[in-house]
Structure 1
Amino acid sequence: MKQADFYILPCADQEGKFDFLGKLLGRILSGGHQIYLHCNDQFSTEQVSQALWQYRDSSFLANALSSEKIIAPITIGWGEQAAEHTDVLINYSDNIPATAAKFERVVEIVIQQSDVLALSRKRYKQYQQQGFKIKHNDMRKPPQR
């Protein structure tokens, strides 16, 4: 069954969201997955790509733009440009891409801004209507022991 994972972060800023994205990408890649990171537009796609190459002083997250037709562990794109060789979609945009249904796993990262929360609720309902199993990961709560 297809699954949509919602990660609800305690932060309200894009820097916190990006930091979480980097950590999440590392975890997903360590599981042997190929990732398609979907952005709003070409400008944000190029910004995210550059930032991932410089993610940490001691490491980077190798990626390619979907328009480049290069196979990389992380492919980043916008519009209807989903990469063919990927199995996990991280939706880093405001809307669900039309290609979302082809992925077994979709990830949404939600920050504490009213407009972001409203759009996330809308996407949550859309994933439910498309038959995705929804997994809610509330990162605001301390881990249970």
Structure 2
Amino acid sequence: MRGSRLIARIEGAKIASGDYVVNLDSDMHFSENFKGFEEKVIALGKITVGKGIVHKLMSVDREITHKKWAENLSVSKGGIIPRMYDRQLLLKAYEMIPESLRDKLNAFEDSVIYYNVMKLYKGKVQFIPNAVYHVEADSSWQFMRK
């Protein structure tokens, strides 16, 4: 099946059998801190892995963003986007995304997902610090290509 990253996430959520769905990129993996789920929407704090200037810049950005995580979960102004959702809530949010937009989203799809989830969900967003490792590109050129 061909399509966008959003379509892949939607199809994956449809066939998943668990209570939660986690949307990770290929350069991310779970840390030992990935535990303790209490809410239906969960933001996963990242541990930046890599070397070079991109790693340093992303590490500083995440340190600042995660320090004030509660302020950075805003759908419109925040710097942290949840990647873990209650599966049923996520499926309902996916239905709200227009078909015409689904095959076009290969960037910022996580923001669109979060926006639509929060139209439905009125509970708290949980933040789990250092829940995933995010492997950054070693050079600026590799980062831009990624």
TM-score (norm 2): 0.28
Q: Which has the bigger relative contact order, CA under 8 A and spacing at least 6?
A: 2
Higher helix share: 2
Which structure has the greater CA radius of gyration?
Answer: 2
